[in-house]
Amino acid sequence: MKTASVKQLLDQYSEVVPGFNALRLILASIILLYHAFIIQTFSIYHSPYGTHEIWLKPVTRAFLPMFFFLGGFLVTGSALRVKSLKAFLAFRIFRIVPALLVEVVLSAVVLGGFFTTLPLEEYYRSPGFFAYFLNIVGDVHFFLPGVFMEGNSVTPTNGLVNGNLWTLPPDLLAYAILTALFALHIIFFRKTFFGLFVFASLVVVVIQVIRPHDMLNNYLLAIPLAGFMQIYSFFMGALVYLFSDRIFLNKRLLLLALVSLAFLSWEQTILLGVWAACYLCLYIGFMDLRNFPLVQRGDYSYGIYLYGYPILQACRNAFPILKTWEELFCIAMPVTLLFAILSWHIIEKPVLGLKGKIWPKLHRPHSPV
């Protein structure tokens, strides 16, 4: 790939970047693979790392920043094109809520009812059953009564129905902040946005200096600080879109980003690693991946995110014969992909089709700033 600015590439592809759908699908599948490793390894050894910790940390820590960066980049582009707060909020709700609602209902009613160790009448009347539906509005609950519980075993994955949902509060907070910036018109003034981003970066650096070993473990406003790193990545995506004419893609910077992923191994330097992961995401996103399998048929990444973890847990509990994480992944991946395909074609795509009906009533599309 020759040296080119992000804006030049956006103009070349008319804002429809060929590699982003493929990249989302790849990232979602890799995260499913990692969760298969975590679930099976924790259940046996109570630790996901061990001798592979040195190389595994930077690799696994890069996935979520890349996901959130991609989301911030694309959502900011959408906001600048729509230029209507009402339309922006409607489109975000259309994209997130319907598929999430269906997954939560299926998990609580069907999956939970099948795997619970409680009598069904007791299960469906328990407060934990009803509390699980609060996931639909971002109040995350990971457990269902008697579901996926292995006696008194104390591991981070024991009883966890959908571990992916921990990213939901940071995701919603990022959207809330972007909505506020939209309402205040700050998103349309990139120098002001840049100043706020620099301030946020300094705050993160201060946290790293004062409490370097707590960056990924402690909580702030009921959100893990790891979640704030995802929010930071989201707004880095927004920043890159706003300054797309000043940011260039070339192989030397790609090589530097690959090497710099090593910074993700240490909490003190994790910010540098996040920058590297985001640049890597941007570079891959502008590759021509239109022929990647399944990309032309739909966007199945959100469905994989929603259904991957519950299906991994279900497969592991339904088939105790599965002893390795490779076996678990090979069984769970096709089932997850099937649910993701159904989710896209039955729920997500039809709901997103409503955008064309309400768009003329809200605002006509504008060229990107």
- What are 83-107's pLDDT values in tens digits? 888 888 888 899 999 999 999 999 9
Beta bridge partners of 249: 4
> Is residue 133 in some structural domain?
yes
Mean pLDDT of 44-50: 46
pLDDT value at position 52?
47
Quickly tell me which residue has 């009598």 as its tokens.
119
Digit-coded pLDDT (tens) for 174-199: 999 999 999 999 999 999 999 999 99
Res. 159 pLDDT band, cuts 50 70 90: confident
Mean pLDDT of 227-245: 90
pLDDT value at position 10?
85
Q: pTM of the predicted model, to two decimals?
A: 0.86
> Is residue 368 in some structural domain?
no
Would you state the structure tokens that stand for residue 174, as one six-digit string? Answer: 């990022």
Identify the residue with better confidence: 221 or 82.
82
For the cut 90, the answer to whether the pLDDT of residue 307 exceeds it is yes
Identify the residue with better confidence: 364 or 352.
352
User: How many CA atoms within 13 Å lie on the side-chain side of 17?
Assistant: 24
**How many structural domains are present in the chain?**
1
> Is residue 231 in some structural domain?
yes
- Cα separation values, 72 from 65, 294, 324, Å: 10, 23, 36
> Is residue 101 in some structural domain?
yes
User: Which helix or strand (DSSP H or E) is residue 248 part of?
Assistant: strand 248-249
- Give the range among 137-146, 148-157, 305-314 with minimum mean pLDDT: 148-157
For the cut 90, the answer to whether the pLDDT of residue 111 exceeds it is yes
> Is residue 369 in some structural domain?
no
**What range defines the domain where residue 81 resides?**
4-362
Do residues 1 and 278 lie in contact, with contact meaning Cβ atoms separated by under 8 Å?
no
* 4 SS3 class: strand
Distance CA 147, CA 313 (A): 10
- Cα separation values, 275 from 80, 180, 198, 233, 343, Å: 23, 24, 13, 8, 32
> Is residue 367 in some structural domain?
no
Across the chain, mean pLDDT equals 84
Res. 43 pLDDT band, cuts 50 70 90: low
> Is residue 278 in some structural domain?
yes
pLDDT value at position 158?
79
Distance CA 29, CA 332 (A): 11
